[in-house]
Amino acid sequence: MGNVAVIGAQWGDEGKGKVVDWLASRADIVVRFQGGHNAGHTLVVGNETYKLSLLPSGLVRGKLGIIGNGVVIDPEALLAEIERVRAQGLRVDPETLRIAENAVLILPVHSALDRAREDARGDRRIGTTGRGIGPAYEDKVARRAIRICDLAEPETIADKLDELLLHHNTLLRGLGAATFSKQELYDRLLAIAPKILPFAEPVWERLDEARRAGKRILFEGAQAVMLDVDHGTYPFVTSSNTVAATAASGSGTGPSSIGTVLGIAKAYTTRVGAGPFPTELHDDIGKQLGERGHEFGTVTGRRRRCGWFNAAMVRQAVKVGGIHGLALTKLDVLDGFPELHICTGYMIDGKAFRHLPAGQAAQAAAQPVYEVMEGWQGSCRGARSWAALPAQAIKYVRRIEELVEAPVTLVSTSPERDDTILVRDPFEG
């Protein structure tokens, strides 16, 4: 059996948490490979609901969790999350969780700068969570970041803080925000070091050993392809690459180890924050989708914008994300709608497009071209087989397959883990 990488095929919040949790029962190791605590995965297990931001979802199933080097880590947020899930009965310790020693840390100065920049943008905000993700990635590529391994070297921390604060305090002052002292950050890092370092190791080595031993690895992405810093709706994107190729670089393994790529997509479309959204609905249907789907961001708590399924966007995500098959979630939310619309392309200034152009003005001007399908009157809720679905719901899924040019290999029909229709096990390739 091979490995599997799970990525979002829209703008995030597609229900990756449930799918990863469901797949984790077939895996030995679950790896987070990019993003930060701006991600949010909600897992419903029996009567317990787990809300995870940094911890790999496989921990809920007792699997070894790994946070890869591609993740930026707020150590205080991580420790708070560990304590919260421990209180819910999960075991999280250095035997169940390992963290890449070369992963970059998010510091309080990063989140302060993130918020100050967003405030300065005014009505041109990009919708960042303000948690310091972007500034931390900036420090990484500028080679001034403090990493997990630096926590074992107080002198290294002291030297790096000089350069880091020279940069960030200058920006904070220019934005009219409070600055940070070196001693404050130094003391906080030294205090947190003994709590974080026991989890640290060269995870690339563990993953290589696991691969050689034939163990099954599940790579868990955050956000989604259309939030990718290169391939998404820039600048309304996250600060990392979210495509499946990042699973290799973000965990320290070769690309041949990734295996099957499973893209997650809702049966409709949602987005949190600002940015283009061609199929967004501002009417009662959009409101119904939000209410039925309980569309509030796990991390932000903000109501998600809702709209019809955008096959043109998901087709683009399939191509650039390397997706082999789709997991279609929340099909039950569409129960009872008399008709359903699927976006098959766009019109921009009188010209037809099959994909969303890269230009910001063009993206904002894109008007969806719809194909209309009859809805269904029966219920998909809780269905666990094709036979349990209304015939028109099956037609809807089949049409999505044709339009996005990828097979639907899994269908989710409720938040419950077992309310899932499996067409093909991703671990079987």
Given phi > 0 = left and psi -120 to 50 = alpha, else beta, which region is 325?
Answer: beta
Residue with tokens 């868990």: 220
H/E stretch holding 97 reads strand 97-100
* 341 flagged as catalytic: no
* 282 flagged as catalytic: no
CA-to-CA separations, 422 to 2, 46, 160, 348, 385, in angstroms, rounded:
17, 20, 50, 38, 8
- The answer to whether 419 and 412 are in contact (CB under 8 A) is yes
Please give the structure tokens belonging to residue 318. 């399939």
Kindly list the strands in the beta sheet with 200-201, ordered across the sheet, starting from the edge strand earlier in the chain: 200-201, 97-100, 64-67, 29-32, 217-220, 4-8, 260-266, 325-329, 408-412, 420-422
* Cα(387)–Cα(366) distance, integer angstroms: 38
* Cα(133)–Cα(38) distance, integer angstroms: 7
Burial of 355 (0-12, 13-18, 19+ CB in 10 A): middle
Phi, psi of 208 (to 5 degrees): -65, -40
Please give the structure tokens belonging to residue 370. 């719809």
Length of the chain: 429
Catalytic-role residue among 13, 139, 150, 419:
13
- The full DSSP string for 273-292 is SSS--TTB--SHHHHHHHHH
* Cα(270)–Cα(89) distance, integer angstroms: 32
Catalytic-role residue among 37, 41, 110, 231:
41
Q: What torsion do the CA atoms of 25, 29, 35, 37 make, to the nearest 10 degrees? A: 70
Given phi > 0 = left and psi -120 to 50 = alpha, else beta, which region is 12?
Answer: left
* Cα(89)–Cα(48) distance, integer angstroms: 10
DSSP 199: G
* Cα(261)–Cα(51) distance, integer angstroms: 24
Annotated active-site positions, please?
13, 41
